[in-house]
C-alpha cells in the first residue's frame, strides 16, 4: 500500500504560536507543512509572506509545501525558495508561462507543482504534467480555511490519477480544502497521494488524533 502524506495547513494554526503548533503536528506524524500564501488579488484574502516562512523554517525540518495563491508567482517564487520552501505550487489560472515557471523552480533545486481551482478542468494542465512534481486539486474555492469539501471534485482526482498512471508521469496528486477523515479517505480512494488539512486538525481538541485519523492510523 502506498504511503499517504499528510500536510497540515498552518493557515488554521495559532499565528502567535506557530512554532508550538508546528511541533504538535510534527510530533503527531505530519509529513509536510502546507503554507497558504495569498495576495488579496488572486484570492480575496491576505496571509503569509516570505519573512514568516523564513522564521518558521528555523523551527522544523519538515518539508515545506508552499501554495502560492498569488497573481504573479513568477515575481515572488524565488523569495519563497530562499526562505526555505521545498515545493512551490502556483496556480494554473495565472497568465505567466507555466512550463517556464515550473522549469525555473525546478532548476533552483526544489520541486514544482501546479494547482487547479474547482472550475478548471484537468485538460488545462495535461500538457504540463511532464514538467511537474505535483498537481494540487482544490476541493474548495481557494481563499479561506474551514470551507465544506466539494465532493464533485472526486471524479477529477480519478481522471488525473488515470492519466498519470497511464503515461507513467512522476507526479503526485495533492488535495486541499475541507479534508477530514471521511473526505480524505474518499480522495485517497480516488487516487490522491497528499492530503492537506487545516481546520479539521487545528480546531480538533486533539490534533494528534486528527493527523492519525487522516493517515488511517489508530492513535
Ligand atoms: C484554501 C487553502 C487551504 C485551506 C485548507 O484556500 O488553500 O489550504 O487552508 O483548510 P481547510 O482544511 O480548513 O479547508
Ligand atoms: Zn492550500
pLDDT at 1 over 90: no
User: pTM here?
Assistant: 0.98
Residue 100 CA, ligand 2 centroid: distance in Å = 22
Catalytic-residue membership of 36: yes
C-alpha span between 127 and 123 (Å, rounded): 8
Catalytic pick from 36, 65, 133, 193? 36
C-alpha 35 to ligand 2 mean position (Å): 7
Q: What is the DSSP letter of 176?
A: E
Q: pLDDT tens-digit profile of 148-180?
A: 999 999 999 999 999 999 999 999 999 999 999
pLDDT score for 39: 98
Q: Is 34 a pocket residue for ligand 1 (Cβ < 6 Å)? A: yes
Catalytic-labelled residue, pool 21, 133, 176, 193: 176
Whether ligand 1 lies within 6 angstroms of the CB of 176 is answered as: yes
Residue 217 has pLDDT above 80, yes or no: no
pLDDT-derived band at 216, boundaries 50, 70, 90: confident
d(Cα 206, Cα 25) in Å, to the nearest integer? 10
pLDDT for residue 99: 98
User: How far, in Å, from the CA of 176 to the mean position of ligand 1?
Assistant: 6
- Average pLDDT for 212-219: 78
pLDDT higher than threshold 70 for residue 219: no
Percent of the chain exceeding pLDDT 90 equals 97
Q: Residue 218: pLDDT band by 50, 70, 90 thresholds? A: low
Q: Give alpha helix (H) positions in the chain.
A: 18-27, 50-57, 73-83, 98-107, 154-167, 181-190, 199-202, 207-214
Asked about 176 being catalytic, the answer comes back as yes
Q: Could you tell me if the CB of 65 is within 6 A of ligand 1? A: no
**Nearest 10 degrees: CA dihedral of 111, 200, 206, 24?**
20
Amino acid at each position: 500500500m502506498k504511503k499517504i502524506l499528510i500536510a497540515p495547513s498552518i493557515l488554521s494554526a495559532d499565528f502567535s504560536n506557530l512554532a508550538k503548533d508546528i511541533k504538535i503536528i510534527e510530533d503527531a506524524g505530519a509529513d509536510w507543512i502546507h503554507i497558504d500564501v495569498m495576495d488579496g488579488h488572486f484570492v480575496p484574502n491576505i496571509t503569509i509572506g516570505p519573512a514568516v516562512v523564513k522564521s518558521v523554517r528555523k523551527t522544523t525540518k519538515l518539508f515545506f509545501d508552499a501554495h502560492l495563491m498569488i497573481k504573479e508567482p513568477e515575481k515572488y517564487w524565488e523569495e519563497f525558495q530562499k526562505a526555505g520552501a521545498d515545493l512551490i505550487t502556483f496556480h494554473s489560472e495565472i497568465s505567466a508561462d507555466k512550463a517556464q515557471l515550473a522549469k525555473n523552480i525546478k532548476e533552483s533545486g526544489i520541486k514544482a507543482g501546479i494547482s487547479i481551482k474547482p472550475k478548471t478542468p484537468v485538460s488545462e494542465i495535461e500538457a504540463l504534467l511532464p514538467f511537474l512534481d505535483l498537481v494540487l486539486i482544490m476541493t474548495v474555492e481557494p481563499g479561506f480555511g474551514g470551507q465544506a469539501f466539494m465532493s464533485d471534485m472526486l471524479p477529477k482526482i480519478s481522471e488525473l490519477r488515470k492519466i498519470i498512471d497511464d503515461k507513467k508521469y512522476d507526479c503526485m496528486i495533492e488535495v486541499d480544502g475541507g479534508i477530514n477523515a471521511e473526505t480524505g479517505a474518499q480522495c485517497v480512494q480516488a487516487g490522491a497521494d497528499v492530503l492537506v488539512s487545516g481546520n479539521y486538525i487545528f480546531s480538533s481538541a486533539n490534533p494528534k488524533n486528527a493527523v492519525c485519523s487522516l493517515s488511517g492510523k489508530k492513535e
